[in-house]
């Protein structure tokens, strides 16, 4: 049974395609549109790309699971007379977007069929008239994406983000596939919204410090290590846990919250402001998680939602007493809803026992499009790039050893925010000065060193990894300490606090990537390389061969390694 999952979002648009429980592919709209965090509601380009990758058509799809996000009013059923302005706007060619969840709330119904023109929606995508259409709960989809691929049978589910379906968190407990929700399910859709979002609070501080909200929060996480939590007492005076151990605040509105944070942040250094909001986040979430671990006796954590893009937070909760496993879904932002939507459909279709029996570890997230050797060669010819001889992995390692910066372009592209060796820039990790060089070439301003990739068999030798956090580290979703004896040898990937955000790579997952690191290790004794995303500042990670070769021609990197060979721009052509 072919099932599509679609995030109908105005940011982080994405789609995923399953054959029952087998994830065939997933892609974010930004990789196709080239607009960071893009979302246009429908993500038709993502759907078409996935169907083309699978060699099927829209008429082959059996079911579609949508988030309750945004559709143009042309696909929203008109309600009462007060919707007359919608009709007028459409007649004037000024169609607008409406959120499905908000319309359900406004009309006092839980039936999406009362709000959405599902027949029109089927026709828009080219689906059969009998294709099954469902609409899913935002935070439950987040939770299921993490639970399904996590380890353990006694799991605390915790999601947190800016907002979704009228809440900012969900908290639940799973024994196998049997799930109990404590906070944040559809019971909250028709309640007054709680003023309790740490995700929004973190975003307000991000913006107050001169960065872009919903995009640059990772910069604040890195900056926090350089400061002291000077404002923590002030912040903790306004946020608390209630008697359900849910994060709450005493603000009357999010406008009040924003004004308070902006006023306090303006009075201190940006480093101390960043440290303060980071510590607030860590303290409150870890206290909430601890309380629910105690309540449930759970020994595993499954986390998702944009807040858990915060790798330092993930480390803190992963180190809580009694946690034996932690897994953060690699597409933790709203792009991950495309996957979770299908898993929610399957849970409702099959029941918890069958669903739980189908759970499995996630081997990799190489889920996007791939391009053939011929397409790569044609893109190289277009920019005057030449292929050099030798084994690709060995040649790339040799160049890295001699101080060159390269990029790997190989196989299917990654899903989620992290570059994981399909579209990554690589460098030698020994000299921290390479950070400044790379940032200049990529037009980035960063406060963290670049992340490392490490061979699986040497990961625990170099980094403070164990049975709790090593699975999460396959997907670069958690930080840990660098062992003291390695910090000078891999100085370029060590943060000021002695931590790093490693990616552990096994050969089965990506042979070319692994072999490059292995060849470098054989030559230097260091089983680590720099891995940063293959993109310039404010651009999405590259997708097509043409984009990769343009970066090579623009001297963002010195060479490009592919399965078919290593490419460079001859000096005379530069």
Check residues 445 and 131 and name the one with the higher pLDDT: 131
**CB-based contacts of 328, cutoff 8 Å, min separation 6:** 146, 303, 304, 308, 314, 472, 475, 477, 478
Is the pLDDT at 60 greater than 80? The verdict is yes
- Binned at pLDDT 50, 70 and 90, residue 87 comes out as low
The mean pLDDT value of the chain amounts to 95
d(CA 101, CA 186): 10
Give the model confidence (pLDDT) of 398-432 as tens digits. Answer: 999 999 999 999 999 999 999 999 999 999 999 99
**What is the spatial distance between Cα 443 and Cα 375, in angstroms, rounded to a whole number?**
28
Number of other residues whose CB lies within 10 A of the CB of residue 544: 18
Q: Are 1 and 343 in contact (CB under 8 A)?
A: no
Mean pLDDT of 517-540: 95
Q: Note the pLDDT tens digit of each residue in 498-511.
A: 999 999 999 999 99
Please tell me what DSSP assigns to residue 163. E
Cα torsion through 516, 521, 526, 530, rounded to 10: 0
Q: Distance between CA atoms of 567 and 61, rounded to whole angstroms?
A: 40
**Averaged pLDDT for residues 339-366:** 97
Name the burial class of residue 572, with classes exposed (0-12), middle (13-18) and buried (19+) by CB atoms within 10 angstroms of its CB: exposed
Read off the pLDDT of each residue in 467-486 and give the average, rounded to a whole number: 98
Name which of 506, 517, 513, 522 is nearest 563 in CA terms: 513
Q: How far is CA 488 from the centre of its chain?
A: 30
Range in 65-74, 177-186, 438-447, 545-554 the model is least confident about:
438-447
**pLDDT tens column, 1-40:** 999 999 999 999 999 999 999 999 999 999 999 999 999 9
Kindly state the average pLDDT of the residues 472-495.
98
The structure tokens listed for 372 are: 């053939």
Q: How confident is the model at residue 386 (pLDDT cuts 50, 70, 90)?
A: very high
Q: Residue length, the chain?
A: 574
- Report the C-alpha gap between 52 and 50 in whole angstroms: 5
Dump strand ranges (E) for 311-351.
Answer: 325-328
Report pLDDT for 449: 75
- Tell me what pLDDT residue 51 has: 98
pLDDT of 561 over the 80 cut: yes
Determine the pLDDT at residue 93. Answer: 65
Note the CATH number of domain 373-573: 3.90.870.20
The answer to whether 474 and 503 have CB atoms below 8 angstroms apart is yes
What pLDDT, on a 0 to 100 scale, did the predictor assign at position 440? 87
Regarding predicted confidence, which is higher, 332 or 177? 332
Same fold, 149-329 and 373-573: no
Per-residue exposure over 415-437, b if at least 16 CB sit within 10 Å of its own CB, e if not: bbbbbbbbbbbbbbbbeeebbee
Position of tokens 């800016």? 162
- The predicted pLDDT at position 83 comes to 60
Cα 447 from Cα 481, distance rounded (Å): 17
Among 84-93, 324-333, 432-441, the range scoring the smallest mean pLDDT is: 84-93
Q: What pLDDT is attached to residue 436?
A: 87
Q: What is the CB neighbour count within 10 angstroms for residue 165?
A: 25
2-136 CATH fold: Nucleotidyltransferase; domain 5 (3.30.420)
Q: Give pLDDT tens digits for 259-316.
A: 999 999 999 999 999 999 999 999 999 999 999 999 999 999 999 999 999 999 999 9
Kindly state the tokens that stand for 26: 């997933």
**Domain spans of the chain?**
2-136, 149-329, 373-573
High-pLDDT (> 90) share of the chain, %: 90
* Residue 79: per-residue pLDDT: 64
- Residue whose C-alpha is closest to residue 38's, from 17, 16, 9: 9
CA distances from 483 to 28, 427, 490 (A): 35, 20, 10
CA-CA-CA-CA torsion sign (134, 140, 142, 145): negative
The radius of gyration computed from the CA coordinates of the chain, to the nearest angstrom, equals 24
Other beta carbons within 10 angstroms of residue 262's beta carbon come to: 14
Structure tokens at 2: 């072919």
For domain 149-329, the question of CATH label 3.40.50.2300 is answered with no
471 alpha carbon, distance to own chain's centre = 16
For 115-165, write each residue's pLDDT tens digit.
Answer: 999 999 999 999 999 999 999 999 999 999 999 999 999 999 999 999 999
What is residue 514's predicted lDDT score, i.e. its pLDDT? 98
What's the Cα-to-Cα distance from 301 to each of 175, 198, 243, rounded to whole Å? 12, 19, 22
| Least confident among 82-86, 199-203, 448-452 | 82-86
């Amino acid at each position: 049974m072919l099932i599509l999952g679609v995030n109908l979002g105005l940011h982080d648009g994405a789609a995923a395609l399953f054959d029952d429980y087998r994830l065939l592919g997933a892609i974010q709209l930004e990789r196709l549109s080239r607009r960071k965090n893009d979302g246009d509601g429908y993500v038709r380009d993502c759907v078409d790309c996935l169907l083309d990758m699978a060699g099927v058509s829209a008429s082959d799809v059996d079911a579609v699971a949508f988030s309750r996000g945004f559709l143009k009013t042309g696909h929203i059923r008109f309600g009462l007379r007060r919707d007359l302005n919608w009709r007028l706007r459409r007649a004037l060619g000024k169609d607008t977007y409406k959120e499905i969840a908000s319309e359900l709330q406004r009309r006092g119904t839980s039936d999406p069929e009362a709000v959405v023109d599902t027949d029109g929606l089927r026709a828009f995508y080219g689906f059969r008239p009998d294709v099954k259409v469902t609409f899913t709960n935002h935070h439950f989809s987040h939770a299921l994406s993490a639970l399904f691929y996590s380890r353990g049978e006694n799991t605390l589910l915790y999601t947190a983000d800016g907002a979704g379906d009228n809440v900012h968190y969900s908290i639940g407990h799973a024994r196998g596939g049997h799930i109990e929700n404590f906070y944040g399910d559809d019971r909250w859709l028709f309640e007054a919204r709680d003023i309790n979002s740490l995700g929004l609070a973190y975003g307000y501080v991000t913006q107050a410090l001169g960065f872009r909200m919903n995009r640059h929060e990772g910069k604040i996480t890195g900056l926090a290590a350089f400061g002291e939590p000077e404002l923590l007492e002030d912040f903790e005076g306004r946020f608390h846990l209630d008697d359900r151990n849910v994060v709450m605040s005493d603000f009357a509105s999010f406008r009040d919250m924003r004004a308070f944070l902006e006023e306090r942040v303006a009075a201190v250094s940006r480093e101390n402001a960043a440290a303060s909001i980071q510590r607030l986040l860590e303290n409150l979430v870890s206290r909430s998680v601890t309380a629910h671990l105690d309540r449930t006796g759970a020994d595993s954590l499954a986390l998702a939602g944009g807040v858990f893009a915060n790798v330092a937070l993930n480390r803190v909760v992963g180190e809580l007493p009694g946690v034996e496993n932690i897994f953060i879904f690699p597409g933790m932002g709203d792009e991950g809803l495309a996957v979770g939507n299908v898993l929610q459909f399957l849970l409702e279709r099959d029941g918890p026992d069958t669903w739980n029996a189908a759970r499995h570890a996630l081997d990799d997230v190489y889920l996007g499009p791939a391009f053939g050797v011929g397409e790569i060669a044609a893109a190289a010819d277009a920019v005057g790039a030449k292929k050099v001889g030798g084994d690709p992995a060995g040649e790339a390692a040799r160049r890295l050893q001699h101080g060159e910066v390269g990029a790997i372009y190989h196989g299917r592209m990654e899903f989620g925010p992290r570059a994981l060796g399909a579209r990554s820039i690589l460098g030698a990790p020994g000299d921290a000065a390479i950070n400044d060089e790379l940032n200049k070439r990529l037009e980035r301003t960063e406060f963290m060193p670049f992340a490392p990739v490490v061979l699986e068999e040497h990961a625990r030798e170099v980094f403070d990894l164990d049975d709790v956090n090593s699975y999460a580290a396959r997907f670069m979703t958690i930080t840990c300490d660098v062992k003291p004896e390695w910090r000078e040898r891999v100085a370029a990937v060590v943060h000021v606090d002695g931590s790093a955000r490693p990616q552990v790579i096994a050969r089965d997952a990506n042979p070319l990537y692994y072999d490059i690191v292995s060849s470098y290790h054989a030559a230097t004794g260091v089983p680590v390389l720099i891995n940063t995303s293959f993109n310039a500042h404010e651009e999405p990670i590259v997708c097509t061969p043409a984009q990769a070769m343009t970066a090579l021609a623009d001297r963002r990197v010195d060479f490009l390694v592919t399965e078919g060979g290593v490419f460079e721009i001859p000096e005379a052509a530069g």
